């Protein structure tokens, strides 16, 4: 992993994500891009004059300085990434601005913060985080505001037996390896959707052939409530990051987004969520 893009709106919600991105870049020896998307309102009646363009240019410089100050304030007592760059982009939509930066800068991962521990609630509200998870062509890491950066020790990948799981797990290994962190591959299923043993064997064989990482195990859990069981598993196992595959209908994310489950477990996500894209294959 060579480049991590971190996006901020200067809020307290995004501080934990900055610390997390900074720590990852140090351990992975990656470049850190610090991004802010600002809006320079222009109505239909506004003329694109020299004065307007000058003001826009001034805003670029102002936000670059604010980004430097933001990083200094929150990283002054932390190990700092030597290869760091601040970037300001103008766009009315934060999500569109970040997506534009992803296309231009081609990072391996984008890191953003979420409010509180209620990441699923944020998803339903159509936040920047869910917009990126749905549209970004790269891996997306969302970090709850109360997350305390610490060395990664256990990464859990929730599988639903998809071919693209192999790619996602390969990417997860790249993050786990420098930390010497364990990877636990977990499949939680209901009795109605219980999969045959041959799918477990298939995944294990594929991992043996394509993923060379020894501190990795597999576990299958039978439960009638996938979300609650995953929450319990995360708490019991003291998980650093939850990894998932994001794709269209049928994905594990869709199962977890079932309205009844979200209402019951509104604050379920209290750890960083890492979403991988099928398009990465």
Q: How many helices (H) and strands (E) does the chain have?
A: 10, 10
Mean pLDDT calculated for residue range 27-43: 86
What pTM did the predictor assign?
0.84
CA distances from residue 113 to 124, 140, 226, 271, 274 in whole angstroms, order as listed: 16, 11, 25, 11, 12
The answer to whether the beta carbons of residues 111 and 235 sit under 8 Å apart is no
Phi, psi (rounded to 5 degrees) for 115: -80, 130
Tokens of 130: 């869910």
Q: Looking at the chain, list the stretches that DSSP marks H as alpha helix, in order from N- to C-terminal side.
A: 15-28, 50-75, 94-105, 119-124, 128-135, 165-179, 197-210, 226-237, 252-256, 259-264
Q: Which domains does the chain have, with CATH numbers?
A: 3-144 (3.40.50.620), 154-280 (3.40.50.620)
The pLDDT score that the predictor gives to residue 60 is 86
Average pLDDT, the chain: 80
Q: Between residues 16 and 57, which one has the greater pLDDT?
A: 16
Query: Of the segments 50-64, 68-82, 111-125, 251-265, which one has the largest average pLDDT value?
Result: 68-82
pLDDT tens per residue across span 74-100: 999 998 898 999 999 999 888 999 999
Please identify which residue in the block is written with the tokens 């307290």. 12
- Dihedral angle at the C-alpha atoms of 121, 137, 277, 233, nearest 10 degrees? -40
Helix (H, G, I), strand (E, B) or coil at 152: coil
pLDDT tens per residue across span 56-81: 788 888 999 999 999 999 999 998 89
The pLDDT score that the predictor gives to residue 50 is 60
pLDDT tens per residue across span 152-211: 999 999 887 878 888 899 999 999 999 999 999 988 877 666 656 677 778 888 888 888
Please identify which residue in the block is written with the tokens 């600002």. 38
The pLDDT score that the predictor gives to residue 164 is 86
Please identify which residue in the block is written with the tokens 């850190």. 32
pLDDT tens per residue across span 193-202: 665 667 777 8
Name residues whose C-beta falls within 8 Å of residue 270's C-beta, 6 or more positions apart in sequence: 117, 144, 146, 147
pLDDT band with cut points at 50, 70 and 90 for residue 256: low
């Amino acid at each position: 992993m060579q480049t991590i893009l971190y996006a901020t709106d200067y809020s307290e919600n995004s501080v934990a994500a900055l610390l997390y991105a900074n720590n990852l870049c140090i351990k992975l020896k990656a470049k850190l891009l610090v991004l802010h998307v600002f809006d320079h309102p222009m109505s239909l009646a506004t003329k694109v004059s020299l004065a307007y363009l000058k003001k826009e240019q001034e805003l670029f410089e102002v936000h670059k300085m604010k980004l430097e100050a933001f990083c200094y304030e929150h990283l002054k007592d932390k190990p700092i990434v030597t290869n760091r760059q601040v970037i300001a982009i103008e766009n009315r939509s934060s999500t569109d601005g970040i997506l534009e930066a992803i296309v231009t800068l081609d990072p391996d991962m984008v890191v953003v913060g979420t409010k509180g521990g209620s990441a699923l609630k944020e998803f339903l509200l159509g936040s920047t985080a869910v917009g990126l998870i749905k549209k970004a062509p790269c891996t997306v890491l969302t970090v709850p505001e109360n997350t305390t950066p610490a060395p990664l020790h256990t990464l859990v990948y929730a599988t639903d037996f998809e071919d693209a799981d192999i790619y996602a797990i390969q990417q997860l290994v790249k993050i786990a390896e420098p930390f010497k962190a364990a990877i636990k591959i977990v499949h939680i299923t209901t009795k109605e959707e219980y999969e045959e043993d041959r799918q477990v064997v298939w995944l294990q064989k594929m991992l043996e052939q394509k993923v060379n990482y020894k501190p990795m195990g597999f576990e299958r859990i039978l439960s009638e409530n996938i979300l609650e069981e995953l929450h319990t598993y995360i708490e019991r196992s003291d998980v650093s990051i939850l990894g998932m595959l994001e794709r269209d209908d049928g994905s594990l994310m869709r199962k977890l987004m079932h309205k009844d489950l979200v209402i019951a477990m509104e604050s379920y996500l209290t750890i960083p969520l890492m979403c991988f894209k099928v398009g990465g294959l």
